[in-house]
Amino acid sequence: MAIAAAAYLIYTNWDKVGPFFMQMWERIQTAFMNAWTAMQPTIERLKTAFYTLTDTLAPKFAAIGAAFMAAFAQVSAASAEHSGTFDVLISIGMTVAQIFGGVIIAAIITFAKCDRALSSQQQSV
């Protein structure tokens, strides 16, 4: 009942209350726009740092993955000379090396490229 009474009072006194709410909404919009504008340089610096990090780390992760692949290939060749005892362990090791050497690197690079594409679309709008 109190809500209905408040709504009625606002409706009947809109000529006095309306400008107050409009001014309050403009202040809220201005505050958010000022905050957004103030955050933009920081956001841009964070994006630049992220791109630099991914550009720097991606080749290193690829090199680590290649080293794992080479090491496991050597172990595989050595174990083939002796027996099939280590075949299961080598298979697991090769799978782990492929995951670290391929999938994670691809995900990082893909994410960075998607983020750059989104950033360029936002900048063009």
Angle, CA of 17, 23 and 25, to the nearest 5°: 105
The set of residues, in sequence order, having a beta carbon less than 8 Å from that of 87 and lying 6+ positions away, is 79
Question: What is the pLDDT at residue 114?
Answer: 65
pLDDT at 109 over 70: no
Question: What is the pLDDT at residue 98?
Answer: 72
Cα atoms found within 13 Å of the Cα of residue 81, Cβ hemisphere only: 5
Structure confidence by residue, pLDDT tens digits, 80-105: 666 555 666 667 777 777 776 666 66
Percentage of the chain modeled with pLDDT above 70 = 69
How far is it, in rounded angstroms, from Cα 57 to Cα 79? Answer: 33
44 SS3 class: helix
Question: What is the DSSP-derived secondary structure letter of residue 3?
Answer: H
Indicate the pLDDT class of residue 47, thresholds 50, 70 and 90: very high
Ramachandran angles phi, psi of 86, nearest 5°: -95, 10
Section 15-28 average pLDDT: 92
Q: pTM above the 0.85 mark?
A: no
119 within 8 A of 47, measured Cβ to Cβ: yes
Of 7-16, 17-26, 99-108, the one with minimum mean pLDDT is 99-108
- Chain position carrying tokens 């090396």: 97
How far is it, in rounded angstroms, from Cα 32 to Cα 28? Answer: 6
Indicate the pLDDT class of residue 124, thresholds 50, 70 and 90: low
Written as six digits, the tokens of 92 are 């697991």
